[in-house]
């Protein structure tokens, strides 16, 4: 590190951490060519990129004479895709800039917003956060980027995969245009390149993803198991290795919960990480792994992004990763800092070919074999028991040891020790035999022999394909497909190799189809720098002329009867009511005079007589009847009901209503 100019506070922090040499990504970022420039860095997990961009941003935020002075607004901004990764980056930058006196604030989802706001108001030199929470602070005015000198996007590909493109665009647009932008990504996809073009100026591309030195200490192993023994094989793997910390990757949240329940019932000390957990639950699970209360973590790829488990010895792929980048990213969590690690793939017979292609594309070599059997697990347990330090270290309480030997004997004490050793450990599982797949032998191309080359007047622009041209060639020359060798499709032309003994059946300039002209060439064509895809979009195919037929006249549907509007319906209803009232014997209310209230309708004389006759008819009563009328006496008004209350029966002889009480109007 003496050959690279590093600030004194940072150099002392690195020395205190035991850094003797820099990794490849750290050396590349600190090279003179990268000084002060925007960088697009492709680096895998575990390559030391957190310390790398921590050293790279030092010239923009550290003065010539440290320590740092208090600031109102941040000088550096680090954006990470997940809470765990943001907190991990903050911890790394914390010890790196501790001697420089830098204040570091975190803004991540799931934490108290007011605490973060107060930390920003006190002034922070470096702010680390997730895209959503950072945008929230910017919109509310808590985070001001007017003095920002450098912005760092860590794991940019994962942020785009999680849908943070709009948030990143908003955050970077709020920063000054003169800032320096550093982007770190495991893979540089077209979306990453587009983001770099939008927010970087004359960026320098640094590619250290192909450097596999971080995977030298990782042993890749693939175990063939039957589908019904997949979970039991995982149990035996954990028991065989007895790793202090191990992580199991599953594809879905349901698989995580299922495996968590199975392992909990078997006695494993296990925690789970999935998207359904709150921030407090995730922090508690990670702390259990760090302090040793749990030894196994089951997680999905999304939930495990950004977590840092020091001393991780075993990585088990319960479900195969979808691409080689994910395989390397999972496996890169072990084998760090010179420690050895194992990456184990549990593969069922239907996934043999997919696993082989995955390993081949990832450019790693895995040792295929069978999962550890129950006898192998017990044998490894016996080896660990015999190598236990308690059997070789000197005994402090020799008097008690002698008393135990004298009382129980050496054989009984040894059996008790073995029994206590095996207690609390899950029993190994018996597995069925599953044959390991054979290594994929390389395909050897057969020697075609003497041949003659022809050209066809069609290529990628004409959407030519070998499977489309092969039957046309066989039909035109009357030959079999065994007589045709290579078919190389280029931009505007196609080269065809035909056996020499049947080449005479084709003529120079022969037309084998619509606009397909076959011509013979001398010697073998030059295939230097072949173009496998068209550089421009192929022209659309010409549309065939369609015959013009007169369209028959169709009868138009009859117009529907228009529905009456509201005014028409109201008028019809009023007319119907008037007709009904005109036919009834009721007395219609007289029209009101100008400014006077209309008079209510009254009963006619005949209606009163009919009403009175019905009222005088004898009816059964519950009350006590009088001798004269046979009816119960009318109730008197009481004080509780009021002095003006009317009796229940208030009719006089003749059926007329009692004077003083208005009769009821007839119901219409």
What's the average model confidence in pLDDT over 158-187?
87
548 in a structural domain: no
199 in a structural domain: yes
Which residue has better confidence, 254 or 438?
254
Residue 225, pLDDT score: 92
Write the DSSP assignment of 186-242 as a string of letters: SS--HHHHHHHHHH-SSPEEEE-TT-GGGGTTEEEEEEE--GGGHHHHHHHHHHHH-
Residue 113: phi, psi to the nearest 5?
-70, -40
Asked if 251 and 196 sit in the same domain, the reply is no
Task: Read off the CATH number of the domain in which 199 is found.
Answer: 3.40.50.300
Residue 144, pLDDT score: 93
Residue 532, pLDDT score: 45
Q: State pTM to two decimals.
A: 0.55
pLDDT digits (tens, 9 = 90+) for 306-325: 677 778 899 999 999 988 88
31 in a structural domain: yes
pLDDT digits (tens, 9 = 90+) for 586-620: 554 555 555 555 555 566 666 666 666 655 566 55
547 in a structural domain: no
Asked if 224 and 194 sit in the same domain, the reply is no
Residue 128: phi, psi to the nearest 5?
-120, 130
For the chain, what percent of residues have pLDDT higher than 70?
75
pLDDT of 215 over the 70 cut: no
Asked if 60 and 94 sit in the same domain, the reply is yes
What's the average model confidence in pLDDT over 237-245?
91
Asked if 126 and 252 sit in the same domain, the reply is no
Question: Domains in the chain: how many in total?
Answer: 3
What's the average model confidence in pLDDT over 570-590?
70
Residue pair 51/24 in contact by the 8 Å Cβ criterion: no
Residue 503, pLDDT score: 86
350 CB neighbour count, 10 Å cutoff? 8
pLDDT of 356 over the 80 cut: yes
Length of the chain (residues): 668
pLDDT digits (tens, 9 = 90+) for 67-86: 778 889 999 999 998 888 88
Asked if 52 and 162 sit in the same domain, the reply is yes
Helices (H), 223-346: 230-241, 253-266, 279-290, 324-331
Residue 618, pLDDT score: 61
Q: To 10 degrees, what angle do helices 279-290 and 83-96 make? A: 50
583 in a structural domain: no
Residue 53, pLDDT score: 86
Asked if 21 and 130 sit in the same domain, the reply is yes
Asked if 43 and 126 sit in the same domain, the reply is yes
Q: Which of 189, 210, 231 is the last residue of a domain?
A: 210
291 in a structural domain: yes
Residue 187, pLDDT score: 73
Q: Which of 192, 210, 228 is the last residue of a domain?
A: 210
Residue 661, pLDDT score: 56
Q: Which of 520, 545, 577 is the last residue of a domain?
A: 520
- Write out the residue range of the structural domain in which residue 193 sits: 8-210
What's the average model confidence in pLDDT over 14-43?
83
368 in a structural domain: yes
Residue 133, pLDDT score: 93
pLDDT level of residue 214 (50, 70, 90 thresholds): very low
Asked if 245 and 152 sit in the same domain, the reply is no
CA dist., res. 7 & res. 327, Å (int): 37
Task: Read off the CATH number of the domain in which 515 is found.
Answer: 3.30.70.330
What's the average model confidence in pLDDT over 249-278?
89
Q: How far is CA 8 from CA 14, 99, 101, 134, in A?
A: 10, 9, 13, 31
Asked if 329 and 298 sit in the same domain, the reply is yes
What's the average model confidence in pLDDT over 287-312?
82
pLDDT of 35 over the 80 cut: yes
566 in a structural domain: no
Across all residues in the chain, what is the average pLDDT? 79
Asked if 58 and 91 sit in the same domain, the reply is yes
pLDDT level of residue 650 (50, 70, 90 thresholds): very low
Residue 21, pLDDT score: 79
CA atoms within 13 A on the CB side of 509: 0
pLDDT digits (tens, 9 = 90+) for 490-537: 878 899 989 888 888 888 888 887 778 888 888 888 765 444 444 445
pLDDT digits (tens, 9 = 90+) for 411-428: 888 888 888 887 778 888
Asked if 158 and 249 sit in the same domain, the reply is no
Which of 262-276, 408-422, 427-441 shows the lowest per-residue confidence on average (mean pLDDT)? Answer: 427-441
Which of 416-425, 432-441, 443-452, 626-635 shows the lowest per-residue confidence on average (mean pLDDT)? Answer: 626-635
pLDDT of 400 over the 50 cut: yes
Asked if 253 and 282 sit in the same domain, the reply is yes
Residue 599, pLDDT score: 57
Which residue has better confidence, 441 or 269?
269
């Amino acid at each position: 590190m003496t050959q690279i100019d590093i600030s004194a506070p940072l150099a002392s922090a690195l020395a205190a951490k035991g850094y003797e040499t820099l990794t490849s990504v750290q050396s590349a970022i600190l090279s003179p060519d990268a000084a002060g420039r925007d960088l697009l860095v492709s680096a895998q997990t575990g390559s030391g990129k957190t310390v790398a961009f921590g050293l790279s941003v030092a010239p923009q935020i550290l003065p010539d004479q440290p320590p740092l002075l208090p600031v109102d607004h941040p000088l550096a901004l680090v954006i990470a895709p997940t809470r765990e990764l943001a907190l991990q980056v903050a911890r790394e930058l914390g010890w790196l800039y501790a001697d420089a006196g830098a204040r570091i604030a975190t803004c991540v989802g799931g934490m108290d917003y007011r605490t973060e706001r107060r930390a920003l108001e006190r002034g922070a030199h470096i702010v680390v956060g997730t895209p959503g929470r950072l945008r929230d602070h910017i919109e509310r005015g808590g985070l001001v980027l007017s003095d920002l000198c450098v912005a760092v996007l860590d794991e940019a590909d994962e942020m785009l995969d999680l849908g943070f493109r709009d948030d990143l665009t908003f955050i970077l647009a709020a920063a000054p245009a003169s800032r320096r932008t550093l982007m770190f990504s495991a893979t540089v996809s077209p979306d990453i390149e587009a983001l770099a073009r939008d927010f970087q100026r004359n960026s320098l591309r640094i590619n250290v993803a192909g450097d596999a030195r971080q995977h030298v200490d990782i042993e890749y192993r693939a175990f063939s198991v039957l589908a019904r023994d997949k979970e039991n094989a995982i149990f035996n793997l954990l028991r065989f290795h007895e790793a202090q910390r191990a992580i199991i990757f599953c594809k879905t949240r349901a698989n995580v919960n299922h495996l968590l329940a199975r392992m909990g019932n078997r006695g494993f000390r296990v925690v789970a990480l999935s998207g359904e957990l709150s921030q407090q639950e995730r922090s508690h699970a990670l702390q259990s792994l760090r302090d040793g209360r749990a030894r196994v973590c089951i997680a999905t790829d999304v939930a495990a992004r950004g977590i840092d488990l020091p001393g991780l010895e075993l990585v088990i792929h319960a479900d195969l990763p979808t691409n080689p980048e994910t395989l390397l990213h999972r496996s890169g969590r072990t084998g760090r800092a010179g420690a050895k690690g194992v990456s184990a793939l549990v593969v069922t017979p239907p996934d043999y070919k997919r696993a082989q292609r995955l390993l081949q594309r990832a450019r790693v070599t895995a040792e295929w074999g069978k999962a550890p059997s129950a006898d192998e697990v017990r044998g490894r347990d016996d080896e660990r028991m015999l190598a236990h330090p308690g059997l070789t270290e000197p005994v402090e309480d020799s008097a008690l040891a002698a008393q135990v030997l004298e009382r129980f004997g050496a054989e009984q004490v040894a059996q008790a020790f073995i029994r206590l050793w095996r207690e609390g450990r899950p029993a190994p599982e018996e597995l069925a035999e599953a044959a390991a797949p054979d290594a994929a032998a390389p395909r050897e191309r057969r020697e075609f022999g003497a041949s003659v080359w022809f050209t066809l007047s069609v290529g990628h622009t004409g959407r030519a394909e070998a499977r489309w041209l092969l039957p046309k060639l066989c039909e035109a020359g009357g030959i079999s497909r065994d007589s045709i060798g290579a078919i190389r499709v280029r931009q505007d032309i196609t080269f065809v190799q035909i056996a020499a003994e049947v080449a005479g059946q084709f003529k120079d300039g022969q037309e084998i189809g619509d606009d397909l002209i076959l011509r013979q060439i001398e010697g073998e064509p030059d295939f230097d720098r072949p173009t496998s895809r068209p550089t421009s979009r192929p022209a659309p195919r010409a549309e065939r002329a369609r015959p013009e037929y007169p369209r028959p006249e169709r009868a138009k549907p009859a117009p529907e009867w228009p529905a009456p509007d509201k005014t028409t319906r109201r008028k019809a209803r009023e007319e119907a009511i008037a007709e009904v009232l005109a036919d009834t014997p009721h007395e219609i209310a007289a029209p009101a005079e100008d400014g006077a209230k209309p008079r209510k309708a009254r009963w006619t004389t005949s209606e009163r007589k009919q009403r009175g006759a019905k009222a005088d008819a004898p009816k059964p009563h519950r009350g006590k009847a009088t001798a004269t009328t046979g009816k119960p006496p009318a109730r008197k008004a009481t004080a509780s009901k009021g002095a003006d209350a009317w009796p229940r029966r208030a009719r006089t002889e003749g059926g007329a209503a009692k004077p003083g009480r208005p009769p009821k109007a007839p119901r219409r």
